[in-house]
Every structure is written in structure tokens, then in C-alpha cells.
């Protein structure tokens, strides 16, 4: 039975990696990309991928599980007082090895129904390479002159997407499928982390991933910031409760 964790281990075919210290500083994220990037691009066979993955696990020292933190981490202010972030959501970026990436926002890790689910216009392999640089900023823009100009910002169905300043196409909001819900249910025990769910585990859950292979994911606590009715953003939260915007997703309505 899966247990919530904040360190790398293997549970029921799911590999998770600590996000509290290492991924927050991106050093472990760069390390895990050592085997994720070749696997995404198809430059190695499945057998080579498993060998490469095994070597990574045996050489990685972050193996002892710890209890996960509260989903409402503290913020240390300049006045040396501690407050609580109230607008916290669970954010998950996930995609199959040979597919495109999705981004979802959930009320908590145990929720299988996202409040927001977007299919991003970028293959998993390309996103993995962008993440390796240590900075990931995704900007999603919509036009205020469309018929959705008066609707809630996050209800807009189609977005123009930029990844680290480069236009990469369109992102599309979609309704979660049963397959999406089953994949998210496999991650219920993961509060935060980076890892892989292997193809066999996904297929055993009832999801058809035969043509897509393993599923890569990054999950963490995100602070939601509402600038105005035309501007919102989500920022990955550090262990101390601050966010340094190394991983941020921006939504904006432009003229």
C-alpha cells in the first residue's frame, strides 16, 4: 500500500523523488533528467532505460523516506514573524515519454478531479530539456477581444503558450477523462516530487499507455497569485514557504 512521502523510493511501480530540498534548488531535478531526457526522446531502448534508471537509483543517496509537510507551509517575513499561505493548491505537470505534457491543479494530492487541466503544446522531451536549465517559466496568453473576454480567466479554453520566452503553440483546457483520473489516483500518495510511473503500473490501473510508455511527473505545492481579473499565476513553493519563481506558470489576458 502506498504511503505519502517526500523522499525518493519505489512504491507500487511509482518512482518518486524528493521535492522539498533538492528539487526546490533544482539540483536533483537536473540529476533525474540524466535518464529522463534520453528516455523521452527515444534515443535508448526500454531495456537500456531500465538499466540506466537502476544505476541512477543505486547511486542516489536520497533514499530514506520522511513524513510529508503540511500543504500550508509557513512564510518567514522580514519582520521575523510567521504567517500562512492560504491560497495553496497541488500542482502536477505530467506526460508520457513519447507524448505531450499536461498541467493540472487539484485541491489536494488525494483529489482525482482537477479544478484545472490543460494540455500543453510541448512534448515531454522538450519540457524536460527546458527544466534541466534550472528555470521553467510558462506563460499562457489569451486575447481580451475574443468571446471569452468577460469570462473567468481560467475558464478560457485555448491559450497561446510560451516556454521560457519561446512561443511553442497552443495550450488547450480539457475535461478530465477517466484515464486522467486513474493516473492521478496512482499519485495520491505523493505530496510532492519528481518521478516516473512505469507503463506496466499504468496499464494495470486500466489506462491504455501501450503506445506512450512510462509517465513522467513533477508534483508540488503551488501558490496561486491573482493579480487582477486578467492576470493569475502559480508558483512552486520552497520548503521554507517562500517561492523564488524558478517554476512558475502565468495566465494573462492581453489586448
pLDDT for 21 beyond 60:
no
| Whether the Cβ atoms of residue 94 and residue 186 lie closer than 8 Å to each other | no
Q: Spell 117-146 as b/e; 16+ CB within 10 A means b.
A: bbbbbbbbbbbbebbbeeebbbbbbbeeee
Q: What whole-number distance in Å separates Cα of residue 134 and Cα of residue 27?
A: 8
Q: How much is the pTM?
A: 0.69
CA-CA-CA-CA torsion sign (208, 211, 214, 216)? negative
Task: List the chain domain ranges.
Answer: 9-67+89-254
Q: What is the pLDDT of residues 168-197, one digit of tens each?
A: 999 999 999 888 888 898 888 888 888 888
Quote the pLDDT of residue 35. 44
Length of the chain: 255
| Whether the Cβ atoms of residue 29 and residue 92 lie closer than 8 Å to each other | no
Q: What whole-number distance in Å separates Cα of residue 97 and Cα of residue 209?
A: 10
Q: What is the pLDDT of residues 99-140, one digit of tens each?
A: 889 999 998 888 888 999 999 988 887 887 787 777 889 999
Query: By three-state DSSP, how is residue 41 classified?
Result: helix
| Whether the Cβ atoms of residue 202 and residue 180 lie closer than 8 Å to each other | no
Q: What whole-number distance in Å separates Cα of residue 19 and Cα of residue 244?
A: 14
Q: What whole-number distance in Å separates Cα of residue 233 and Cα of residue 23?
A: 20
Instruction: Please state, as a whole number, how many other Cβ atoms lie within 10 Å of the Cβ of residue 213.
Output: 21
Q: What whole-number distance in Å separates Cα of residue 33 and Cα of residue 39?
A: 9
Quote the pLDDT of residue 121. 87
| Whether the Cβ atoms of residue 218 and residue 92 lie closer than 8 Å to each other | yes
Region 1-11: mean pLDDT is 41
Q: What whole-number distance in Å separates Cα of residue 100 and Cα of residue 10?
A: 24
Amino acid at each position: 500500500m502506498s504511503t505519502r512521502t517526500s523522499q525518493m523510493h519505489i512504491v507500487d511501480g511509482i518512482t518518486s523523488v524528493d521535492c522539498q530540498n533538492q528539487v526546490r534548488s533544482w539540483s536533483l531535478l537536473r540529476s533525474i533528467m540524466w535518464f529522463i531526457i534520453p528516455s523521452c526522446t527515444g534515443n535508448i531502448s526500454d531495456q537500456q532505460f531500465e538499466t540506466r534508471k537502476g544505476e541512477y537509483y543505486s547511486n542516489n543517496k536520497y533514499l530514506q523516506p520522511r513524513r510529508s509537510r503540511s500543504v500550508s507551509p509557513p512564510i518567514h517575513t522580514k519582520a521575523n514573524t510567521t504567517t500562512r499561505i492560504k491560497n495553496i493548491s497541488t500542482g502536477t505537470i505530467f506526460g508520457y515519454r513519447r507524448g505531450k505534457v499536461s498541467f493540472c491543479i487539484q485541491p489536494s494530492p488525494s483529489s482525482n478531479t482537477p479544478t484545472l487541466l490543460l494540455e500543453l503544446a510541448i512534448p515531454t522531451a522538450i519540457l524536460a530539456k527546458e527544466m534541466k536549465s534550472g528555470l521553467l517559466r510558462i506563460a499562457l496568453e489569451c486575447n481580451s477581444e475574443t468571446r471569452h473576454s468577460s469570462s473567468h480567466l481560467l475558464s478560457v479554453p485555448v491559450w497561446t503558450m510560451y516556454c521560457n520566452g519561446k512561443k511553442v503553440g497552443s495550450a488547450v483546457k480539457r475535461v478530465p477523462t477517466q484515464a486522467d483520473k486513474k493516473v492521478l489516483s496512482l499519485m495520491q500518495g505523493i505530496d510532492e516530487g519528481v518521478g516516473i510511473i512505469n507503463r506496466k503500473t499504468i496499464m494495470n490501473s486500466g489506462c491504455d499507455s501501450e503506445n506512450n510508455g512510462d509517465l513522467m511527473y513533477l508534483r508540488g505545492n503551488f501558490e496561486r497569485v491573482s493579480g487582477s481579473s486578467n492576470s493569475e499565476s502559480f508558483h512552486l513553493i520552497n520548503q521554507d514557504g517562500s517561492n523564488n519563481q524558478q517554476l512558475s506558470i502565468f495566465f494573462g489576458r492581453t489586448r
